[in-house]
Structure formats: structure tokens, C-alpha cells
Amino acid sequence: MKKNPPLVILAMFFLPCVMAQTMNVSELKENAAQKLSQSEMNIASSFVCGESQISDYDGNTYNTVKIGKQCWMRENLKTTHYSDGTYIEASVSMDVNYQYRFSPQNEPAHVASRGYLYNWTAVTRDKFNTSFLNPSGIQGVCPTGWHVPSDEEWTELTAYLSSHSEYTCDTKSQHISPDVYKHYIAKAMAATTGWRSSKHKCAIGYKMEENNASGFSALPAGQYTGFEGYDNYGEVAAFWSCTQQDLGNAFYRRLHFDEEFVSGSGIGKTGIKQQENDIAISKIDGGCISKTVGCSVRCLKD
């Protein structure tokens, strides 16, 4: 009768093999991680704003544009997932406690060119997640390496454009002072197509072929406002910031086909409100909007 080898002897033969296999698996994982990290570093080092594209979790790609010291996405965000793979539900709900996305004009076919509209909770990923810093530090719905712009970062953009004459629309009118028309920058941010036409000189919809000097390429996806439905498609481009005014409202930026200004809001800013020839020409800074509303998103590079 054969005797089975003692367990100790078997362990002496097989344990080194198991350990070797474990070490090999561990080394493979470590090597893979190092290669992935190196790949990410290579991609980051080869990125050139204005030339390179970025992609989101869904595989959508976006062109980029450099304006001043900032690097912006040149297209509206259209992801259905956060960068960690968490799904963002499509809905018509106005509940600020949840993250939702909406198709412009309730038409999925519009998403390809104009992106989704998102409620503020979806944008920041938490209804209490807010920042007034520059940079904001809030990735939110943006791809890895990018973040949701704060109100201050939007102000940096518009201030840069206003300070460079090639981006402003000069009416050459004796009734409009330079202090006012230097803020006529909406045309410089708006795309050359897709807007309702206007008869007002320097408005986005007037001679649209003269738009988009900055390359920002804003398109009017409109807004989702719940009970009032889908508003202003083809007329308004509204972009979220990650800066809240209070628990129910947050700052944003808005371009309108029939206006010369980029309206929205600015912390600590007085805005422009002047009387020229008894006509009030205003509205760089003009309030905020409910967090329940669906607006477009543009991300900024970290």
C-alpha cells in the first residue's frame, strides 16, 4: 500500500510555483499600470489646445480652442456618463435632488451638434457642490483633466474678449460710447450658423458670417424649463457655471440672437447699465437661474 506524501512535502513543491505565479500576476499588473500612466502622460504632454481633441467616457470627441490663457471645449458636452462610468438619466423631471439630462427641443437628433442640456445637479454632480474659485476645482460632468468653469472663469473669458478690439463690435455710432460697445462680444463667441436672424447691428443674428472671431463657436441649444417646456431653441445659448447664488439658483452665461452682450451674472460685478440717448443699454450682469433648468455645458482644461 502506497503512502501519500506528507502535506509538508507537497507544500514544499507547490508553494514556490504558486508564489511565482502570484508574483508574475502582480508584476504584470504593476507593469500595465506603469504603461497606462506613461501613456496618459504622453497624451497630456502631446496635447496642444486648439489642435488636439479630447474625448469623454462615451467616446464622443470634442475640438478645443485657446482664448487668452484658457483652454475651452469648442463644442457643447454630450456625454451620458460621468468619467467613472456612472450613468446620467434622461428625464423631464425638475427635481434638483437628482442628476438629469435633456435633449434640446426634446429632439435626440439635436444632441450630435448641440449637446445635451443638464440640470445644475448633474453638472456639479451634487446640488451642494459649488465653487467661486479660479480654477474651480470641480470636475463634475466633465472628462478627466477638465472641469466645470466657475463664475470667475467665465468672467475671465468675457473680460479678455472685451479688452481686445478684434473681438468687439464697434457700432461707430455717436450714441454709443466706447465703454459700452467694448462689451459687444456676443458675435465673437457665437457660431456662424444655427441662429435666428436679427436686424440689429452687432447682434448675433445680424450678418452671422461675421461671427465667431474667438473660435468659441456657441450654438443656441435653448433651455429646458420644465412646465414651460423647451425654450429658445435657435435663439439662446445658455451655459452653466459651477457657482451657486443660493441653494436654489446658480450663475450662468447667456447669448441671445438679438443681443450684443453676453448676459448672465458676475460675483462682485456691477455690470453695465448706462443711459445713452435715453435708451437703457444694459446687461452684462443680470441675475442667475434656477438649478432645475437644463442648460448647456462647456468644460475648461485643468
- Could you write out the three-class secondary structure of 134-148? CCCCCCCCCCCCEEC
pLDDT at 170 (0 to 100): 72
Q: What is the per-residue pLDDT across 168-192, written as a single tens digit (0 to 9) for each?
A: 987 665 456 666 656 899 999 999 9
> For residue 294, which amino acid is it?
G
pLDDT at 30 (0 to 100): 55
In order of 16, 84, 178, 273, 294, the CA distances from 229 in angstroms are 68, 31, 39, 31, 10
pLDDT confidence band for 13 (50 / 70 / 90): very low
Whether the pLDDT of residue 25 is over 70: the answer is no
pLDDT at 255 (0 to 100): 95
Q: What is the per-residue pLDDT across 251-288, written as a single tens digit (0 to 9) for each?
A: 999 999 999 989 874 443 333 333 333 223 333 444 58
Q: Which three cell numbers stand for residue 278?
A: 435715453
pLDDT at 263 (0 to 100): 87
Report the DSSP beta bridge partners of residue 152. Answer: none
pLDDT at 264 (0 to 100): 75
Whether the pLDDT of residue 12 is over 50: the answer is no
Preceding omega of 135 cis (within 30 degrees of 0): yes
Measured at the CA of 161, the angle between CA 159 and CA 164, to 5 degrees, comes to 110
Round the average pLDDT of the chain to a whole number and report it. 82
pLDDT confidence band for 43 (50 / 70 / 90): low
| Rounded CA separation 251/242 (Å) | 7
pLDDT confidence band for 55 (50 / 70 / 90): very high
Report the DSSP beta bridge partners of residue 289. Answer: 250
